[in-house]
A and B are shown apart, each in its own frame.
Chain A
Amino acid sequence: GAVVSQHPSRVICKSGTSVKIECRSLDFQATTMFWYRQFPKQSLMLMATSNEGSKATYEQGVEKDKFLINHASLTLSTLTVTSAHPEDSSFYICSARPSGGTGELFFGEGSRLTVL
C-alpha cells in the first residue's frame, strides 16, 4: 500500500526556535496533503490543507504565520512551526491523497514536538 513518511518522528527544541517537519509520500504523488494536530488523549484536529504549487488553506483559528506550510513538490510537504512555544508541543500528523486515486488518505507516523 501507499506509504507516507514523516521526519523527524520526535523533536525537542527550545522556546523561540523554529522547527520543520517533513511529510513525504514515498511511492505515490500527492497534489494534496493535510496536516493535523493531536493533543494528548484527544482527537486529531485539521490544521491546514497543503496544495502542491499553491498556498495552503488553513482552518479557522490556525495561525498561518505561525505554522508555515510549503508543498514544493508532488511528494513533499513541510510544516514549519515558527518561534515555537511550549503550548505548541503536540503530535503533528500528515496525510496524503494519491493523485488520481480513489480519494483514500494515507497517514504518516506522526511527529512529536516538545518545546522546552
Chain B
Amino acid sequence: AQSVTQPDIHITVSEGASLELRCNYSYGATPYLFWYVQSPGQGLQLLLKYFSGDTLVQGIKGFEAEFKRSQSSFNLRKPSVHWSDAAEYFCAVAFTGGGNKLTFGTGTQLKVEL
C-alpha cells in the first residue's frame, strides 16, 4: 500500500537559518506531491505541488521542494527561516487513479528560535 513518511516529528531552527523538511513516499509510480502548512487551530494552506516537469518546484513564502525519483523523496527547503514560519508542515501525495484523495504524512512541527 502507498504511504508517506515524514521522519522528523519536531525540528527547531534559528531564525535566519536554512531549513529542510524530509518527505519520502512509497508507491510504484510517480505520485502527485504536495506540501501543506498548518498553523495552530487552522486549516491547511498549500505551499507548493509537483505534478510533472521540472523537479524543483517553487512555492509561496519562499519555500521550494525537489522531487527525487531515485530516492522517492520530496523534501521541502527554505534558505532563511522567519519566526512566522513556525507551524506544522505536512507532506501529502495523491496517486494516479486515486481520485484526488490525499494521503498525508504524520507532519513535522517546526519551531523557530529567535
Contacts and interface: CB of A to CB of B under 8 A. Distances in A.
Contacts, number: 50
The number of chain A residues touching the other chain, given as a range, is 20 to 34
Contacts of B32: 103
Interface residues of B, number: 19
A104 B46 contact: yes
B104 A34 contact: no
A43 B107 contact: yes
A6 B45 CA distance: 14
B43 A46 contact: no
Decide if the interface of chain A is mainly helix, strand, loop or mixed: strand
A107 B41 CA distance: 13
22 contacts: A4-B43, A32-B100, A42-B106, A43-B104, A43-B105, A43-B106, A44-B90, A44-B102, A45-B104, A46-B103, A49-B99, A91-B41, A95-B102, A104-B46, A105-B46, A105-B102, A107-B43, A107-B45, A107-B46, A109-B43, A110-B41, A110-B42
